[in-house]
Structure 1
Amino acid sequence: MTGMYENIRSALIDTFRVPEDELSPQATLQELEMDSLALAEFALVLEERLGVKLETEHANANTTLAEVADHIEALMAAPKVAS
């Protein structure tokens, strides 16, 4: 799996104490028992660690870890717009 997936995995283990054996690319955030508050915190943790803003539609209960990783990789690959 990608390095981004490993970053997400690390955040879930370190911050949310999700057991490693529950994590797989196909696992949804709901299967990891993340409620709406945990999802918001998850997005903030990833923003702090990776420097990208993860919108809630890309981190909802039905989103898989692989989908989150793919979306973040796409955000990081997108050209930056000067302010």
Structure 2
Amino acid sequence: MTDTYDVIRSVLTTTFRIPDDEISPERTLEQLELDSLALAEFALILQERLEVRVDEEHATRATTLAQVTEHLDTLRAQSVTTP
């Protein structure tokens, strides 16, 4: 996985106290027990750390960590190519 996934994993373990062994790319945010308030906080932290805005439809309770990672990688790649 990418460094984006490492950032996501770090946020989940440090901010939300999710044990590292419970985090994997195929897990959904719901399976990690993130409620709507936690999802909003998660999105804001990722925005601050990665300097891209997470779209709401890409951070729902049904979204997997792999999908969040892919979306953020796409946004980061676009921000690098956009002057």
CA distance in 1, matches of 2:82, 2:36: 29
CA RMSD of aligned residues (A): 1.0
The percent identity for this pair of structures is 56
Unaligned runs of 5+ in 1: none
Unaligned runs of 5+ in 2: none
Which of 75, 79, 82 pairs up with 1:80?
Answer: 82
SS in 2 for 1:24: coil
CA distance in 2, matches of 1:20, 1:77: 27
Give the alignment of 1:4-83 within 5 angstroms: 4-78=4-78, 79-80=81-82
Q: TM-score, normalised by structure 2?
A: 0.92
In the comparison of the two structures, how many residue pairs are matched? 81
Deviation, structure 1 residue 20: 0.6
Q: Which amino acid aligns with 2:82?
A: K
Q: TM-score, normalised by structure 1?
A: 0.92
CA distance in 2, matches of 1:48, 1:4: 13
Segments ≥4 residues shifted beyond 4 Å = none
CA distance in 1, matches of 2:73, 2:15: 21
Deviation, structure 1 residue 61: 0.4
